């Protein structure tokens, strides 16, 4: 009992540590995430200084623009180095005789009446404005002069007319910008010093704008970082030790030049010791702080990830087990639900967490995080909730996998089992309907999310997961289709193997599923049956061959003695005709028995293929001519006439000469025995290009009441009375020998006409 409590405490401790390390990882990522250098990698930490950073260059570029804006604003709003509120800044015409001029003070007072004010705490930003305008304020006026616009610009129609509130806003906006720049750059609390000087011809008149009248150009350039550009130089190069050359300076200098010619220069220096607590000093401090935060965040993230991975491995090993030593699987009630239902439920819970819990938590986080980092903080919160849901789902799947219920305890498994027991047509129909419904549902959900999501990353995440699920579902369907196709190919290959004679070929049933597995088992049973039948057939053929060989051998010795003794008796010149007749019968029957014995042995060898062939090139026409010559004298006994139709050219084939002679001999003997006496026997050879066809045909003496296939069987004769010589093996031997030599043997019966054909490929 104490051991169980200890193991339970250990599992809870590991789970708590994993959660703690995951939080540490999120905190570390937050430190790296929540700074202005997000997305720049790690190089900037090792090699970059604040003065080399892109933010620094952007800040300097902005202040260069501010300096030249200030040069312009000085001409507009100042007289003798001070703001001149009596200076005319606007001239308009409201109608005939309605010409009006407005000083800076007039515009400020009118702006106050409209509700405008400059917020000193916000760097003199212009704020406020009219809630409603009177009809008089909405009247268009003709603009004759604007302090910030040239006469050429006023000639365009869209610039010639405007309303007083709009004109007031434009002037006050520039006055606010003037105050903002003045408060930053013209005070004693700045690290940026500048001098912009313009000279007329012969340097008779000059105009200098600076915030460091006591300092020389060399003093300004010695501050740390500097920029110097002169219009008198022969090139457009800007001398600087900043990371950027600031190519906009020549254009700004030329644009604000009040005189003709190129007599002007600008020098800007930045004190990189940051003695004054201005924007640059604050940015320098923030940059170094972000560097420290990023480094600390990186170390924290690495430590958190390492701890998370170690504890994750422990949880993976312990998941489903009551203790380390206990290897039995323990499932929670949540793990006993259907797997696919659990996945859908957790997907729904994840959606609720992201769309309800994450926004609520983000609102609380906004109390301690500045608005610049809200989006990134929201993303971290969403990922935190998502990670929690994924971890719960993952370990439930692991426990199911260990308990071997991941697939078995699912609706999809139940459906698959139901379909596997049904017909293929039913499976295809139901599968297609489910596939179509799944795609319609996922596309509908995806479209709904596209048109109803907010413009933030974590709000878009559910759509990404839906698309991943949609693609995964289609890939799963493709896998099943591909698996079935692969199984069908394996079954087809197995059938081809069996059909080609590999009766021992079998398939691995474990590679198949559902009905295909049953089909594979059936093929294996067919293979076993064929193997058994083939073995029985081989055994039977071997027994028959052995029997024929043994019987022939046992008969041959006494038969030879009988033949020899009959021959010896005949030599005694016995005069009794009856005894002579008996001797003739004995001689005839013993010779027939000898022939039968030899034919039996040869038929057995031919049918089993146990004959060694000596294949050579043979002139088929010449061999047939020789055979005809051999049988002419014999055919004359029964008054049979051989009619040859042979080609004149040589036709070469590849065959065993002795075996081919035996085939022809058997065919000629068959015609001699069974042809009608006094008729013709026709022998022809036809060249069919690739093949040569030999044909011998005759008219049968007796009706042929038997099929051609039966004639080639052993011990079958056209004359079933067996009154003539022969063993009934001649045609069978001829067929087997022809086949062994690569030829084709065919018998054709048309009424009393008997025709035998053998075909061999012609050797080129």
Last residue of a domain, one of 457, 485, 513: 485
Q: What's phi and psi for 194, nearest 5 deg?
A: -150, 160
Residue 96's region, left for phi above 0, alpha for psi from -120 to 50, else beta, is beta
The answer as to whether 374 is a domain residue is yes
Give 453 or 59, the one with higher predicted confidence: 59
Give 548 or 296, the one with higher predicted confidence: 296
Per-residue pLDDT, averaged over 443-457, amounts to 70
Q: What is the pLDDT of residue 672?
A: 92
Q: What is the pLDDT of residue 381?
A: 84
Q: What is the pLDDT of residue 370?
A: 76
- pLDDT of 187 above 80: no
Residue 750, SS3 per DSSP: strand
Q: Note whether 124 and 235 are same-domain residues.
A: yes
Q: Note whether 254 and 379 are same-domain residues.
A: no
Q: What is the pLDDT of residue 234?
A: 62
Per-residue pLDDT, averaged over 425-440, amounts to 83
Q: Are strands 744-750 and 753-761 parallel, antiparallel or unpaired?
A: antiparallel
Sheet with 753-761, strands from edge to edge, namely 641-645, 680-687, 691-699, 753-761, 744-750
- In order, the DSSP letters of 516-555 are HHHHHHHHHHHHHHHHHHHHHHHHHHHHHHHHHHHHHHHH
Extract the tokens encoding 108.
């400020």
Q: Note whether 240 and 106 are same-domain residues.
A: yes
The pLDDT-based confidence of 139 (bands split at 50, 70, 90) is confident
Q: How far is CA 648 from CA 385, 414, 683, 697, 763, in A?
A: 98, 79, 14, 21, 17
- pLDDT of 758 above 90: yes
Last residue of a domain, one of 434, 462, 485: 485
Among 33-37, 480-484, 626-630, 694-698, which is the least confidently predicted range? 33-37
Among 391-395, 551-555, 720-724, which is the least confidently predicted range? 720-724
Per-residue pLDDT, averaged over 618-627, amounts to 91
Among 20-24, 534-538, 579-583, 720-724, which is the least confidently predicted range? 720-724
Q: Note whether 261 and 347 are same-domain residues.
A: no
Tokens 């089992």 appear where? 417
Give 571 or 722, the one with higher predicted confidence: 571
The answer as to whether 98 is a domain residue is yes
* Cβ atoms of 148 and 107 closer than 8 Å: no
- pLDDT of 5 above 60: no
The answer as to whether 80 is a domain residue is yes
Per-residue pLDDT, averaged over 465-475, amounts to 85
d(CA 632, CA 628): 6
* Cβ atoms of 483 and 513 closer than 8 Å: yes
Among 165-179, 385-399, 608-622, 708-722, which is the least confidently predicted range? 708-722
d(CA 408, CA 415): 11
* Cβ atoms of 698 and 669 closer than 8 Å: no
The pLDDT-based confidence of 723 (bands split at 50, 70, 90) is very low
* Cβ atoms of 282 and 50 closer than 8 Å: no
How many domains in the chain?
Answer: 3
- The pLDDT tens digits for 255-293 are 888 887 778 889 999 998 999 888 889 888 888 888 888
Q: Note whether 336 and 480 are same-domain residues.
A: yes
Q: What is the pLDDT of residue 746?
A: 92
Q: Note whether 186 and 57 are same-domain residues.
A: yes
The answer as to whether 4 is a domain residue is no
Residue 262, SS3 per DSSP: coil
The answer as to whether 39 is a domain residue is no
Last residue of a domain, one of 485, 519, 554: 485
d(CA 559, CA 568): 14
CB contact set of 178 (below 8 Å; sequence gap of 6+): 69, 70, 73, 76, 77
CB contact set of 317 (below 8 Å; sequence gap of 6+): 324
* Cβ atoms of 294 and 45 closer than 8 Å: yes
- Residue 647 sits in which domain range? 612-761
- pLDDT of 239 above 70: yes
d(CA 25, CA 15): 15
Q: What's phi and psi for 528, nearest 5 deg?
A: -60, -40
Q: Note whether 258 and 369 are same-domain residues.
A: no
Q: Note whether 240 and 329 are same-domain residues.
A: no
Q: Note whether 642 and 755 are same-domain residues.
A: yes
Per-residue pLDDT, averaged over 463-473, amounts to 83
- In order, the DSSP letters of 173-193 are HHHHHHHHHHHHHSSSS-SEE
CB contact set of 159 (below 8 Å; sequence gap of 6+): 143, 149, 153
CB atoms within 10 A of CB 93: 13
Per-residue pLDDT, averaged over 627-648, amounts to 91
Residue 315, SS3 per DSSP: helix
- pLDDT of 719 above 60: no
Q: What is the pLDDT of residue 41?
A: 60
- The pLDDT tens digits for 654-686 are 998 888 888 898 899 889 988 999 999 999 999
Nearest of 543, 558, 542, 555 to residue 597 by alpha carbon: 555
Q: Note whether 327 and 266 are same-domain residues.
A: no
- The pLDDT tens digits for 150-173 are 655 555 555 678 888 888 888 889
Q: Is the sign of the CA dihedral 730, 731, 735, 736 positive or negative?
A: negative
The answer as to whether 21 is a domain residue is no
* Cβ atoms of 632 and 639 closer than 8 Å: no
Q: At what angle do helices 424-452 and 411-420 cross, to 10 degrees?
A: 150
The answer as to whether 501 is a domain residue is no
- Residues pairing with 119 in the sheet: 125
- pLDDT of 717 above 60: no
Q: What is the pLDDT of residue 625?
A: 92
Q: How far is CA 417 from CA 328, 408, 434, 482, in A?
A: 28, 10, 15, 19
The answer as to whether 751 is a domain residue is yes
* Cβ atoms of 679 and 640 closer than 8 Å: yes
d(CA 442, CA 450): 12
d(CA 202, CA 188): 34
Q: Is 68 exposed, middle or buried (0-12, 13-18, 19+ CB in 10 A)?
A: buried
- pLDDT of 705 above 90: no
The pLDDT-based confidence of 722 (bands split at 50, 70, 90) is very low
Q: Note whether 224 and 365 are same-domain residues.
A: no
Q: What is the pLDDT of residue 150?
A: 62
Q: Note whether 121 and 188 are same-domain residues.
A: yes
- pLDDT of 494 above 60: yes
Q: How far is CA 272 from CA 52, 210, 223, 392, 671, in A?
A: 12, 19, 7, 53, 125
Q: How far is CA 740 from CA 534, 659, 685, 687, 704, in A?
A: 20, 10, 21, 22, 28
Per-residue burial over 697-732, b if 16 or more Cβ lie within 10 Å, else e, is: bbbbbeebeeeeeebbebeebbeeeeeeebbbbbbb
- In order, the DSSP letters of 597-647 are HHHHHHHHHHHHT-----EEEEEHHHHHHHHHHHHHHHHHHTT-EEEEE--
Residue 223, SS3 per DSSP: coil
Give Cα 493 to chain centroid, integer Å.
Answer: 27
- pLDDT of 12 above 90: no
Q: What's phi and psi for 498, nearest 5 deg?
A: -65, -40
d(CA 526, CA 680): 52
| pTM: predicted TM-score of the whole model, two decimal places | 0.49
Report the CATH number at residue 698. 3.30.565.10
Q: What is the pLDDT of residue 546?
A: 67
Average pLDDT value for the chain: 81
- pLDDT of 417 above 60: yes
Q: What is the pLDDT of residue 721?
A: 39
Extract the tokens encoding 473.
């579902």
- In order, the DSSP letters of 14-53 are HHHHHHHHHHHHHHHHHHHHSSTTTTS-SHHHHH--GGGS
* Cβ atoms of 392 and 346 closer than 8 Å: yes
- pLDDT of 412 above 70: yes
Q: What is the pLDDT of residue 192?
A: 92
């Amino acid at each position: 009992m104490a051991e169980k409590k200890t193991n339970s405490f250990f599992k809870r401790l590991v789970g708590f540590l994993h959660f703690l390390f995951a939080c540490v990882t999120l905190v570390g990522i937050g430190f790296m995430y929540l700074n202005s250098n997000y997305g720049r990698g790690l190089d900037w930490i090792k090699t970059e200084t604040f003065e080399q950073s892109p933010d620094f260059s952007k800040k300097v570029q902005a202040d260069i623009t501010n300096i030249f804006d200030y040069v312009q604003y000085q001409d507009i709003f100042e007289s003798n180095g001070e703001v001149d509120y009596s200076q005319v800044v606007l001239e308009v015409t409201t109608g005939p005789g309605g010409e009006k001029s407005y000083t800076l003070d007039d515009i400020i007072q009118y702006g106050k009446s409209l509700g405008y004010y400059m917020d000193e705490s916000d760097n003199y930003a212009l704020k406020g404005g009219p809630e409603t305008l009177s009809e008089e304020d909405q009247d268009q006026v003709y603009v004759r002069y604007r302090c910030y616009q040239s006469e050429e610009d006023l000639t365009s129609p869209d610039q010639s007319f405007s309303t007083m509130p709009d004109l007031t806003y434009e002037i006050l906006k520039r006055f606010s910008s003037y105050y903002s720049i003045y408060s930053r750059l013209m005070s004693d609390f700045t690290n940026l010093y500048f001098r912009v000087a313009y000279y007329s011809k012969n340097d008779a008149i000059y105009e200098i704008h600076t915030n460091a009248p006591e300092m020389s150009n060399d003093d300004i350039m010695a501050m740390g970082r500097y920029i110097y550009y002169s219009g008198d130089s022969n090139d457009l190069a800007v001398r600087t030790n900043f990371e950027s050359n600031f190519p906009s300076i020549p254009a700004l200098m030329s644009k604000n030049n009040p005189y003709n010619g190129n007599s002007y220069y600008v020098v800007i220096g930045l004190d990189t010791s940051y003695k004054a607590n201005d924007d640059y000093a604050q940015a320098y401090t923030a940059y170094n702080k972000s560097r420290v935060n990023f480094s600390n965040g990186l170390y924290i993230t690495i430590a958190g990830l390492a701890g998370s991975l170690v504890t994750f491995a422990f949880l993976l090993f312990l998941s489903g087990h009551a203790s380390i030593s206990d290897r039995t699987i323990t499932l929670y009630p949540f793990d006993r639900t259907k797997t696919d239902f659990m996945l859908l439920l957790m997907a729904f819970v994840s959606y609720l967490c992201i769309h309800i819990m994450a926004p609520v938590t983000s609102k609380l986080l906004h109390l301690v995080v500045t608005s610049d980092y809200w989006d990134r903080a929201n993303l971290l919160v969403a990922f935190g909730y998502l990670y929690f849901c994924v971890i719960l789902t993952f370990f439930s799947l692991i426990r199911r996998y260990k308990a071997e219920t991941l697939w078995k305890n699912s609706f999809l498994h139940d459906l698959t089992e139901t379909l596997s027991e049904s017909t293929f047509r039913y499976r295809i129909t139901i599968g297609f309907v489910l596939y179509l419904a799944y795609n319609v549902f996922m596309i509908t959900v995806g479209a709904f999310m596209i048109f109803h999501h907010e413009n933030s990353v974590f709000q878009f995440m559910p759509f990404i997961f839906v698309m991943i699920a949609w693609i995964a579902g289609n890939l799963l369907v493709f896998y099943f289709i591909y698996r079935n196709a692969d199984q069908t190919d394996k079954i087809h290959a197995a059938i081809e193997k069996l059909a080609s004679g590999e009766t021992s070929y079998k398939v691995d049933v474990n590679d198949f599923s559902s009905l295909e597995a049953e089909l594979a088992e059936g093929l294996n049973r067919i293979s076993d049956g064929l193997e058994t039948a083939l073995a029985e057939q081989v055994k039977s053929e071997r027994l028959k061959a052995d029997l024929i060989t043994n019987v022939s051998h046992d008969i041959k010795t006494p038969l030879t003695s009988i033949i020899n003794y009959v021959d010896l008796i005949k030599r005694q010149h016995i005069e009794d005709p009856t005894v002579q007749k008996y001797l003739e019968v004995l001689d005839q029957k013993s010779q027939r028995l000898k022939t039968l014995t030899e034919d039996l042995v040869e038929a057995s060898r031919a049918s089993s293929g146990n004959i060694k062939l000596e294949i050579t090139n043979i002139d088929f026409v010449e061999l047939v001519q020789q055979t005809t010559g051999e049988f002419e004298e014999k055919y004359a006994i029964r008054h049979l006439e051989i009619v040859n139709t042979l080609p004149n050219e040589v036709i070469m084939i590849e065959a065993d000469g002795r075996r081919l002679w035996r085939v022809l001999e058997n065919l000629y003997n068959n015609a001699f025995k069974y042809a009608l006496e006094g008729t013709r026997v026709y022998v022809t050879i036809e060249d069919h290009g690739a093949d040569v066809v030999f044909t011998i045909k005759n008219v049968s003496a007796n009706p042929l009441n038997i099929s051609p296939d039966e004639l080639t069987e052993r011990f079958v004769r056209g004359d079933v009375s067996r009154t003539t010589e022969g063993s009934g093996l001649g045609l069978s031997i001829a067929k087997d020998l022809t086949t062994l030599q690569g030829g084709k043997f065919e018998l054709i019966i048309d009424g009393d006409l008997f025709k035998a054909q053998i075909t061999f490929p012609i050797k080129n």
